[in-house]
Amino acid sequence: MTSTHSTTPAAPDARRRPYSSTSLRWLLPIMLVLFFLAILIWLPWQARQMESNERQEQLIADTLWVEQTIRFQLGRDEESLRALGVEISGGHLSHAQLHERMARLLKNGHELLRVVWLKPDGQLAGSSDPLSTPVELSPASKATAEITRKTRRPMYTQPEAQTHVSAAAPSAVLMDYHVPLFRGDEYIGDLVATYQTSVMLEEMVPWWFAQDNQVSLVDRDDKVLARRAAAGPGHGVYTHKRALDLPGASVTLVTDSVKSEPQLLPNLLVGSVIVLSLGLLWSLLALWGHISKRLAAEGALRQQMSFRTAMENSLVTGLRARDLEGRITYVNPAFCQIVGYPAEEIVGKLPPMPYWAPEAMAEYQSRFANVLAGKVTPQFETFFQRPDGERVPVLIFEAPLVDNDGKQTGWMGSILDISDRKRIEELNRQQQEKLQASARLATMGEIASMLAHELNQPLAAISSYTTGALNLIERDAPGPVDATLLKPALEQASAQAQRAGQIIRSVHGFVKKREPLRQEVAVASLLDSIRTLIELQARQSYVSFRTEIPADLPPVRADRVMIEQVLLNLTRNGIEAMSQVPPQRRILNVVASYDAEAGQVSVAVIDQGHGIPDDVAQRLFSPFFSTKAEGMGMGLNICRTAMEFHGGALTFRANPQGGTIFTFQLPAATAQVD
């Protein structure tokens, strides 16, 4: 029983074991075959996908490089044009020098079609064309010129097709770059550089990139502005768009590879045999080719990086890159020269920075907090402190740094040392003050004879009253003098002496040199302080002087002496303008009013003289322009400058009753407080 029991269960186990072993032996090869087939199917598909992704990534990287190359070239042109604009505004270039500079710009930048200087009225003031052919701007370019004049910032015009461009290109898509020109506050025109979009692609896109890709420039509506297809049209498989950061224009760089999508082998089995046979050789050859291409690309990249590094090191503009935490990741030599610290002491540091001045630490911390919050002021002025304690005023431009995926990685700043500009501004301010003081002295010189005549009257009266008093004393001597007779004579002498003193004080206060000081002052008080000087001239020319000042007129916040000088110049001009009209029309009015909505006080000086001809009106405020033989031509120019210093304006219009009305506005003190 025992043996039977022990052998009986063993028989079924023995029968099951061969079946299980056979199943396992078949299952494993089948799984291996399936796995092998899956590998054969998956490998070509994966290889195709990898090749497709690699081509797309390479296209994106090359497109970004080309976009940076185009933007760098345009940026270099922008800097050259702005520098030329500064020299034109400063009046440092003759016509020949201007033409030579413009021609040099075209020689250095073949992408430029022309460079011209257009005056405010559209007339040609300078051109790179030796024949100085007149230039007619398109409506869009004229609109851009108006915007740049108002904002004082250079801007591009949206590219558009134009005809009759040149004999070589009768019709082309052009893009203008406008640089507004100002001489002080005077707008003197636009420096306009014209680009031909097709030439931009020919000059700025490397030949090796154009051999593999169709390169296009399109506008916001995907309308093609220019196209370069050296190797034929693209297949639309590998494409990438990159917007050119051009202020005022929407232009996108579009690249379309001429390579088609990789294809799977038509017969996977035959292909697998071929792949298995030639896989090693193909792999080695492909690897060698890939390495060769990569080495060539790396060499070209190193060459471009060396070029860009040399370019950045030669700039006078400081460059500073920061990450999103505010840590400095890059500086160029110009930035180190501005702040006075070597790069190794700055790169990698988090705020506070060693070049931050202690007294402006709160301002720096506030801006740094905005950086961490993702809010950066695109342009602002501040100052840095060098290790020796010297303060350097700087102008900073900030822009976001974006990687290939469009994700922001930090901020890039351009820093300009504006010490020279600040010194020039201070020198201009001092010269303006000297000019105003000279104008006041010249004004007093013009009325010196009238002043002597006016002083002669009170002095003669004082002499007469004192002589009468002495006669009374001698007549009653040796007895007592009658005080009732002597007192009126002495009172009259005292009154005349006070009158002469008031005249002297008015002149002294008007011509005294002093720093500009804005304070609350009533318009009536301003007129009262110079009324004596105005009436001197008015009586000399038999002019009736009248004022209309409302009792509730709010005070203005202004420099008293500057506004007194403006009033004296305008009233003197009005008096002189009425010298040839009938005496009954010689009325000079000064009328003041208040515009509560605008928060401004207006003062009008109204004469009934000969008026201002149209040809004179166009140049009335120009420096050194005068209709008087003995005039310096600076009076009205100084008046307008004084109004602009106070944030106001000086205008004129014809008087309906004959003559001219000069009006200036000043901010009311109540509006300043609000």
Q: How many CB atoms lie within 10 A of CB 91?
A: 9
Assign domain 315-417 to a CATH class: alpha beta
Per-residue pLDDT tens for 619-648? Answer: 676 554 455 544 433 457 777 777 877 778
pLDDT value, residue 165: 56
SS3 of residue 394 by DSSP: strand
DSSP 343: G
Return d(Cα 604, Cα 589) in angstroms, integer: 8
Return the pLDDT at 471. 64
Q: Please choose, from the candidates 321, 359, 318, the residue with its C-alpha nearest in 3D space to the C-alpha of residue 340.
A: 318
Contacts of 672 (CB under 8 A, 6+ apart): 557
Distance CA 443, CA 634 (A): 11
Secondary structure of 437-493 as H, E, C letters: HHHHHHHHHHCHHHHHHHHHHHHHHHHHHHHHHHHHHHHHCCCCCCHHHHHHHHHHH
Alpha carbon 100 to its chain centroid, in Å, reads 26
- 232: its two tokens: 């034929």
Q: What is the pLDDT of residue 7?
A: 39
Contacting residues for 321 by C-beta, under 8 A, at least 6 apart: 328, 329, 330, 331, 401, 410, 411, 412, 413
pLDDT at 429: 67
Summarised one tens digit per residue, pLDDT across range 421-479 is 878 877 776 676 666 656 555 555 555 544 554 555 566 556 655 766 666 676 665 65
Place of tokens 């996908």: 49
Among the residues of 541-666, which ranges form H helices? 560-577, 614-617, 635-645
Contact criterion met (CB below 8 Å) for 671 and 599 = yes
Number of Cβ atoms within 10 Å of the Cβ of 363: 14
For the domain made up of 418-515, give the CATH fold.
Helix Hairpins (1.10.287)
Q: Which regions in the chain score pLDDT beneath 50?
A: 1-19, 22, 266-267, 269-270, 449-450, 453, 513-514, 624-625, 629-634, 672-674
CATH number of the domain at 56-263, please? 3.30.450.20
Quick count: other Cβ atoms within 10 Å of Cβ 673? 8
For 546-576, write each residue's pLDDT tens digit. 999 998 899 998 887 778 878 888 888 888 8
Q: Which fold has domain 516-674?
A: Heat Shock Protein 90 (3.30.565)
What pLDDT, on a 0 to 100 scale, did the predictor assign at position 625?
A: 42
pLDDT at 19: 44
